[in-house]
Structure 1
Amino acid sequence: MKKDNVLQQKSFAFAVRIVNLYRYLNEKKKEYVLSKQLLRAGTSIGANVEEAIGGQSEKDFFAKLTIAYKEARETHYWLRLLTATNYLTNEEGQSVLEDTDELLRIIGSIQKTIKQRNS
């Protein structure tokens, strides 16, 4: 049941990247509001993956995974906004967006598998 290997590792690495991006936006770009939203959403993905792994049932696992998916969608939004407002270059934004998209695909795939198995 545990899909902790790839998703756990990638969501943790992504959180580290988001923390570093938050620092960059604060220190170099003097952006404090949008970056805080990005920090909360981007680090929440991995936290919810960890909670999913520790879930007491498949239903609990699926619920936490759904929250992780929603947080990844929100992260995607903040990254697009930071790029559109020139706090991130297109290259910087695209690079992190690709990582976000990868997490969304992995989480979505796990959700789809669980739904198919339970229908």
Structure 2
Amino acid sequence: MERSPVNDIIGKQLLRSGTSILANYIEANSASSKKDFINFFTHSLKSSNESKVWLTILRDLKKGEEKETDWLLNELIEISNVIASSILTLKGKR
């Protein structure tokens, strides 16, 4: 991805949301209650969904390598599915 003001903004947003997925997952492991645990997982899922938005924008604007962007989107879809499934299990809805 070449440097430009738009690319820099999208890149920073993607970095922020992408690292938030892992940060909230790690925080969940030291949660003081089941409610906190679920809350951290929920934030992790929201960050994963936000990352998908930024990657989709990059792809649609043709600002990144299409093959790499599609691979990352597929990885995020899988991550989101695992986190969402975990949340449903924790809430007893599965």
Q: TM-score, normalised by structure 2?
A: 0.91
Runs of at least 4 residues of structure 1 off by over 2 A? none
- Aligned residue for 2:85, secondary structure, equals helix
- Structure with the bigger RCO (C-alpha within 8 Å, sep 6+) is 2
- Aligned residue for 1:100, secondary structure, equals helix
Q: State the match for 1:114 in structure 2.
A: 90
2:51 aligned with 1:86: no
- Measured on the aligned residues, the alpha-carbon RMSD in Å equals 1.4
Count of matched residue positions in the alignment of Structure 1 and Structure 2 = 91
Identity %: 33
2:10 aligned with 1:42: no
Matched letter for residue 32 of structure 1: D
Aligned with 1:53 (options 12, 18, 29): 29
Alignment of 1:68-107 (within 5 A): 68-107=44-83
Unpaired runs of 5+ in structure 1? 1-24
Matched letter for residue 91 of structure 1: K
- Aligned residue for 2:73, secondary structure, equals helix
